[in-house]
Structure 1
Amino acid sequence: MNKNINLLEDESIDDLQLDNLLLIQKKQGFRFGVDAVLLSNFANVKNRHRVIDLCTGTGIVPFLIYGKYKPKEIIGVEIQEDMVEMANRSSKYNEVENIVKFINADLKDTGFLKSLGTFDVLTVNPPYKLNNSGILNPDDKLAIARHEILCNLEDVIRASRRLLKDNGRMYIVHRPERLIDIFELMRKYKIEPKRVQMIHPKVNKAPNIVLVEGQRDGGAYLKWEAPLYVYNEDGTYTKEINKIYGREE
């Protein structure tokens, strides 16, 4: 591991508890959550695959996918330059910069998308919230990560269509209230929904996260996975979540 990567005063290094991987993040600001962990676990990735992660932030999903599956290449795309710089320092720190790479770019740039070629697997944890308030600061980094300011759901799915190879798979994590939008846009861009899983905070609570798998030019067949519960009644993680985090044998 490269020990010569300097941290800024407002940064920390967090142990991903997976294959000795570490991630540089801001102490205050956007930090990864359980949705990124669930997305990396939901994706079906093989070691021969070429993988791309859109809206990658500080690179958490690519690092988790690398730690779990060791694909031949993973590219993360992020519009916020400081996050990309941080993610590339994480790659160097973990000595995986030849495999896990990050690019500062706009996923709405079709010329850029074409330059990347096509991928077996695409993952995305996009901004969840509709940008309909009219009062958000477009330079607010947290707002950009959480609200559809610089890209929306259709931008993400349109880009996914361009980036996936024939029969390639897309994996997205989002909010359940956007599920119909996800299905409609996937079909609009000929990415067929194939698998869905609802994530509940705990038993008897409504789901607050949904995972969807789509296949480029796939046939119509949808599999509904068993629901996943994050917390037990006492507030501890469930056995299933601990297993995903690698804490359960």
Structure 2
Amino acid sequence: MESLTRDHFFNGKIVLNQPASGYRFSIDAVILSHLACPAPGETVLDLGTGCGVIPVMLAFRHPEIRVIGVEIQPSLSRLARRNVADNCLSDRVQIVDKDIGKLLLADIGGPVDWVVTNPPYRKRGSGRINTDSQRAVARHEIKTDLDTVLRTARRMLRKSGRFSIIYPSVRSIDLLTAMRSTGIEPKYLTMIHAKPAFPARLVLVTGIKGGRPGLDVGPPLCLYHEDGTYTRALESMFSGLTD
């Protein structure tokens, strides 16, 4: 049986089971689940949900939404369902076992209002592939790639639906170009820095299906002060507070 850890977040209000070794979610998922702000009554789709951290955090923060997580790795989808159940969210969060590229509208009950994703960052063949299969699939474009994620998002979104992705800043041009060519127009961009004096490591982009051209660049998001302590923004993310 796989060894798990049981970690508490949001001041102990939610619990997340994760593999003790293997894929463990990163702060990227926490940031994305905080910066995506669906309206009451909306449905959110998380592509590549892993152990279900984004659906659980989104559903906790927004009690009037429905969330669907899609995961190709059976060991992680089982864990995602456990996390959903342990947090008493089974009435609003659904986990679907499916290859993202083969996902159908029938699998999720029709078009959604918002798609979020924290996809594999590294191109296949770039860098060393982790020997742990869960980590390898989560970090490298082995089972899916950016183009597949974007095409699937467009198919799953309703007209004028929103799409949010967190991605390495070094691949920003690849991301923005691919979004526009897929029919998801980039509308809002936030650069994410570890510390104020450090170059951005990540970028979060929100686009609209069929949106008009025009990109707003928001203020940078810094996660740590120079002394290594959390910024107020990061503290609010771990507390579970909404803006």
Whole-angstrom distance in 1 between the partners of 2:85 and 2:240:
26
Residue 103 of structure 1 is matched in structure 2 by 96
TM-score (norm 1): 0.90
Q: Displacement of 1:194 after TM fit?
A: 0.5
Whole-angstrom distance in 2 between the partners of 1:246 and 1:75:
23
Q: Displacement of 1:244 after TM fit?
A: 2.3
Shift in CA distance, 115/89, structure 1 to aligned 2, threshold 3 Å? closer
Number of equivalences: 241
Whole-angstrom distance in 2 between the partners of 1:83 and 1:205:
33
What is the Cα-based RMSD across aligned positions, in Å?
A: 2.1
Residue 219 of structure 2 is matched in structure 1 by 226
Shift in CA distance, 127/200, structure 1 to aligned 2, threshold 3 Å? same
Residue 209 of structure 1 is matched in structure 2 by 202
The answer to whether the Cα contact below 8 Å between 1:58 and 1:87 also exists between their aligned partners in 2 is: yes
Shift in CA distance, 137/68, structure 1 to aligned 2, threshold 3 Å? closer
Letter in 1 for 2:87: N
Residue 119 of structure 1 is matched in structure 2 by 112
Deviations 1:30-56 (A, max 9, x none): 112211111011112112101110011
Letter in 1 for 2:148: D
Shift in CA distance, 235/88, structure 1 to aligned 2, threshold 3 Å? same
For residue 150 of structure 2, the aligned residue among 147, 157, 167 is: 157
Deviations 1:190-209 (A, max 9, x none): 11100000011112111001
TM-score (norm 2): 0.92
Residue 233 of structure 2 is matched in structure 1 by 240
Unaligned runs of 5+ in 2: none
Q: Secondary structure of the residue that 1:198 maps to in structure 2?
A: strand
The answer to whether the Cα contact below 8 Å between 1:19 and 1:67 also exists between their aligned partners in 2 is: no
The answer to whether the Cα contact below 8 Å between 2:61 and 2:240 also exists between their aligned partners in 1 is: no
The answer to whether the Cα contact below 8 Å between 1:138 and 1:144 also exists between their aligned partners in 2 is: no
Whole-angstrom distance in 2 between the partners of 1:11 and 1:130:
29
Whole-angstrom distance in 2 between the partners of 1:134 and 1:207:
21
Q: Displacement of 1:115 after TM fit?
A: 3.6
Deviations 1:71-98 (A, max 9, x none): 4311100110100001101111122112
The answer to whether the Cα contact below 8 Å between 1:78 and 1:84 also exists between their aligned partners in 2 is: yes
- Percentage of identical aligned residues: 35
Letter in 1 for 2:101: K
Letter in 2 for 1:130: K
Question: Which aligned segments of 4 or more residues in structure 1 are displaced greater than 4 angstroms?
Answer: none
Residue 62 of structure 1 is matched in structure 2 by 55
